[in-house]
Amino acid sequence: MNKGKFITFEGGEGAGKTTQIKLLQQKLENHGVQILVTREPGGTPSAEKLRDLVVKGDLDDWSAMAELLIITAGRYEHVQNLILPALEKGVWVISDRFYDSSAVYQGIAGGLGLEKVRRIQQEVLGNFAPDLTLVFDLPPAVGLARAGKREADTASGEDRFERKGSQFHENLRQGYLQIAEAESRCTALDATQSIDQIQQVIWSKVETLLP
């Protein structure tokens, strides 16, 4: 049995990842691929409890290092108990965020530095990495407006990072572009394009992973 592929979607707040994940799931299932969609922070019952700690509440509840350690603890559970078992069964896994979010949110925008974040991820995950990472690039003002509308519609309370200042979100954008340029598994997408245009670009990359 062939192992499954691991695809991650990355980007700032309100970049449109959720819509494209659903479209990609449908397209892959139409090609006979079994799909598991998950997210970070979270993905398993225990990791979802940790998610609530960092995505809700006051801005000063946690330092960047505390955020990183909480999220990484959840990531270990997520990978060991959900992602790896699915991949071993030949299931493709699509995750809304993975460790590149830690590199950008806590490492670059949070000020910890990329190397510190990478050392911790290496210690916890070893050499495990996505097969493909799709990075959604969008001006922060546009993304935050979308995210604000989503929060108003859902009242989830998951807006702690959205409430950080404009410079934080600009740093996120530049951080994602930096990683996308440096990592061969990454593809940066212009998220201001239409849904159909973005879907076509995504499929052109994902199609190469099909057996």
Residue numbers in the known binding site for ATP are 11-18
The 3 state secondary structure assigned to 58-121 is CHHHCCHHHHHHHHHHHHHHHHHHHHHHHHHCCCEEEEECCHHHHHHHHHHCCCCCHHHHHHHH
Which tokens is 114 given?
């990329």
CB 103 within 8 A of CB 114: yes
Residue numbers in the known binding site are 11-18
Say what the pLDDT of residue 89 is: 98
CA dist 172 and 11 (Å) reads: 8
Average pLDDT over residues 121-139: 96
CB 153 within 8 A of CB 99: no
Phi/psi of residue 62, nearest 5 degrees: -135, 145
pTM above 0.75, yes or no: yes
Q: What is the pLDDT of residues 83-96, one digit of tens each?
A: 999 999 999 999 99
